[in-house]
Amino acid sequence: MRLPYVDPADPNAFKTPEEKAIVSRVEARRAPRPLQPLDLTLLHSPAFADGWNSFLGAVRTRTSLSDDIREIAICRVAVCNKAWYEWGHHAPLAKAGGVSEEGMKILAEEEPAKKKGEPGLTEKQWAVIDYTDAMTRNVAVEQEIFDELKKHFSDQEVVEVTGTVAAYNCVSRFLVALDVGERNGTKPPA
């Protein structure tokens, strides 16, 4: 880590009622889990942490995307950006969301190669992988890749997939730049 984690129990950490309310909102979103290293870093700037908490909370819990699709997008961003802290938190959620063991192995590959008839991922899931990789690595998405995504998703879902990929690129860049969770230079957790 490049910054010390904020100790929310420190009586000098948050001085105003507004700052204390922000900490409570972040804690409420994380409940029943404790605050995470990401939260403890963001809380160096309570107002920033509050906006982050609201935005990422919406991305994670208030879209129409199925769990597998959302977590595939997040996991691919993590792999592309070598954000292993992010991978460690979201790979179990992808598995719980229905991504098969074969699919998880493919997701973890830096350059996954789609093989005809290969088990593990559906065409819809592959469309999300290809779109996520294009957005993350190139920003601009080729029309062919967009058209494949559009075959599987409504306009609302396209916006939500795009927003999820964009949001988690922000997350991964924050995590890696500040080495949150001390995972830089390591491999993805198994």
For the chain, what is the mean pLDDT? Answer: 94
CA distance 86 to 178: 13
How high is the pLDDT of residue 114?
78
Query: In the predicted model, is pLDDT for residue 116 greater than 60?
Result: no
CA gap 64, 142 in Å, rounded: 25
pLDDT digits (tens, 9 = 90+) for 140-173: 999 999 999 999 999 999 999 999 999 999 999 9
Is the pLDDT score of 28 beyond 90? yes
pTM value is 0.93
| pLDDT higher than threshold 90 for residue 115 | no
Domains along the chain with CATH numbers: 17-61 (no CATH), 67-182 (1.20.1290.10)
Q: Are the CB atoms for 71 and 94 separated by under 8 Å?
A: yes
Model pLDDT, residue 117: 61
59-111 pLDDT, tens digit per residue, is: 999 999 999 999 999 999 999 999 999 999 999 999 999 999 999 999 999 99
What is the structure's pLDDT at 104? 95
- Is residue 165 within 8 A of residue 77, CB to CB? The reply is yes
Q: CA neighbours within 13 Å on the CB side: how many for 10?
A: 10
* Whole-number percent of the chain with pLDDT over 70: 97
Provide the angle, in degrees to the nearest 10, between the axes of the packed helices 67-81 and 101-108.
30
Give residue 106's identity as a one-letter amino acid code. Answer: I
- Could you tell me which residues come within 8 angstroms of residue 185 by beta carbon, excluding any fewer than 6 positions away? none
* Whole-number pLDDT of residue 190: 63
Q: What is the pLDDT of residue 183?
A: 74
Residue 140: the pLDDT is 96
pLDDT band of 113, cuts 50, 70, 90: confident
Write the CA distances from 17 to 5, 10, 22, integer angstroms. 21, 15, 9
